[in-house]
């Protein structure tokens, strides 16, 4: 069993929190098209709730950050590495 300081920190973190790292670079889809890739998260410092997804959208020559509220997420597909947004 490893006893490094890094291992101790990882052991204290909830598996749900560690899994958010796996979502980085997932494709975000709105209706029938990809709008960008998940770049990072914005978390409320007081509640630790994920509030926004920072999405890199646009062509590689004109890439922009777009903040998407997490309430706009309809589903997440691990198989397709895809975040589907609501169709409202």
Report yes or no on 2 lying in a domain: no
Report yes or no on 30 lying in a domain: yes
Secondary structure (3-state) at 29: strand
Report yes or no on 10 lying in a domain: no
Secondary structure (3-state) at 71: helix
**Which CATH number do you get for residue 69?**
2.30.30.240
pTM: 0.71
Q: How many domains does the chain have?
A: 1
Report yes or no on 56 lying in a domain: yes
pLDDT digits 0-9 by tens, 21-33: 888 999 999 988 9
Range of the domain at 29: 24-85
Report yes or no on 19 lying in a domain: no
Q: Give the Cα separation of 57 and 38 in Å (integer).
A: 9
Q: Give the Cα separation of 25 and 52 in Å (integer).
A: 15
pLDDT digits 0-9 by tens, 33-72: 999 999 999 999 899 888 999 999 987 788 899 999 999 9
């Amino acid at each position: 069993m490893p006893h490094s300081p890094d291992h101790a920190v990882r052991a204290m973190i909830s598996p749900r929190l560690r899994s958010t790292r796996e979502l980085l670079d997932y494709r975000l889809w709105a209706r029938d098209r990809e709008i960008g890739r998940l770049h990072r998260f914005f978390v409320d410092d007081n509640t630790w709730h994920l509030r926004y997804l920072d999405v890199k959208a646009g062509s590689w020559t004109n890439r922009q950050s777009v903040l998407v509220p997490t309430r706009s997420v309809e589903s997440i597909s691990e198989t397709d590495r895809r975040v589907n947004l609501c169709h409202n």
